[in-house]
Amino acid sequence: MEITLTPQAYADRKVWFSMWFLGAIVTFGAAFFPMFYRLIEGRNMHLANEAKLEEQVTAHLKQAGKEQPATSQRLKPINSKAWAASIILIIPAFIIMYRLSKDLATHERNEDAFLASALPQRVFMPQTIPQTTYLLITIVTLGVGGVYWLYKIVNLYNAHYKADLQVQKEIAHLMEEHKSVEHM
């Protein structure tokens, strides 16, 4: 059985905060609904793709006779439409921002642990996400800090997607190297 790293069916797409924020100003906040939807849906799709990648790496290691890394605890998908619609009540927007930043931190820790046990060298460095700081800034500024927090979340997810692309390239390269050594 030959295992190959398949390209993502859904490439992680960047979210341009400035475009969405300006759109929200022009539309008196209406653009926040699709923005939150896209953030949540992007998170869900990314987590699903990462689960497939972990399965492929584990299968490759099993086929190579190497020790299989412990799989990480999977984060569950969030209902994108329901949560995006709920921001009309304002408070759910802060819950979503907290959840998105918390989930990214958890996902990165899990991914780092998995990759550290699966790969010979460290190819991924988790980002630090000071959720408490962002939450305090938002509370002290009576919600205005939430815009900064949202900006940071968008940037952190974009940076994570970019780092993951490099990780996937490295994994594909290592799998190809291993495959070419086996055929010799």
Q: What is the CA radius of gyration of the chain?
A: 19
Domain of 172? Answer: 17-183
pLDDT tens for 26-82 read: 999 999 999 999 999 999 999 999 888 888 888 887 887 777 776 667 899 999 999
Mean residue pLDDT across the chain? 83
11 belongs to a structural domain: no
Q: Decide if 74 is inside a domain.
A: yes
What's the predicted TM-score (pTM) here?
A: 0.83
3 pLDDT band (50/70/90 cuts)? very low
φ/ψ (deg, to 5) at 73: -70, 125
Would you say residue 50 lies in a domain? yes
The 3-state secondary structure of the chain, one letter per residue: CCCCCCCCCCCCCCCCHHHHHHHHHHCCCCCHHHHHHHHHHHHHHHHHHHHHHHHHHHHHHHHCCCCCCCCCCCCCCCCHHHHHHHHHHCHHHHHHHHHHHHHHHHHHHHHHHHHHHHCCCCCCCCCCCCHHHHHHHHHHCCCCHHHHHHHHHHHHHHHHHHHHHHHHHHHHHHHHHHHHHHHC
Q: Is residue 116 part of a domain?
A: yes
Structural domains of the chain, count? 1
